[in-house]
């Protein structure tokens, strides 16, 4: 779902990198946000709500609402909409509140 032809913008994308999402290998571009890379790969459900286990994606996409929190390289509660993607990142949907320390 990437835009390749745009009337005004030219997208300067970084190097292509691979990363894993819940064990599955995906591709993205270095420097774009994790949420953007996942969305481009068709992944919209980023977690499930804590009490009612409802599917949850991002909302504000600039780091204010925390809807997009996932586990990245073992660290919980990472706001994936502002975290830049790096080669080899291990991204997982977080269960519950995650490790707070």
Q: Which residues bind other proteins (CB under 8 A)?
A: 1-9, 11, 13, 32-33, 36, 39-40, 44-46, 49, 54-65, 81-82, 84
**Minimum distance between the CB of residue 88 and other proteins, rounded to whole angstroms?**
20
Structure tokens belonging to residue 68: 């997009």
Based on CB atoms, which residue is closest to other proteins, 1 or 88? 1
Closest CB to other proteins among 20 and 66?
Answer: 66
Q: Least CB distance from residue 98 to other proteins, whole Å? A: 18
Buried b (16+ CB within 10 A) or exposed e, 64-88: eeebbbbbbeeebebbbbebebeee
- Asked whether 78 and 71 are in contact (CB, 8 A), the reply is yes
Instruction: Give min distance, CB of 49 to other proteins, in A.
Output: 7
Tell me if 13 sits within 8 A of 20, measured CB to CB. no
């Amino acid at each position: 779902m990437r835009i390749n032809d745009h009337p005004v913008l030219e997208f300067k994308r970084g190097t292509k990198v691979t990363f894993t999402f819940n064990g599955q290998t995906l591709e993205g571009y270095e420097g774009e946000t994790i949420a953007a890379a996942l969305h481009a790969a068709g992944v919209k459900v980023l977690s499930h709500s804590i009490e009612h286990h409802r599917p949850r994606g991002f909302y504000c996409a600039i780091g204010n609402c925390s809807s997009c929190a996932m586990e990245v390289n073992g660290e919980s509660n990472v706001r994936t909409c502002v975290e830049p993607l790096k080669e080899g990142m291990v991204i997982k949907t977080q269960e519950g509140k995650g490790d707070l320390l």
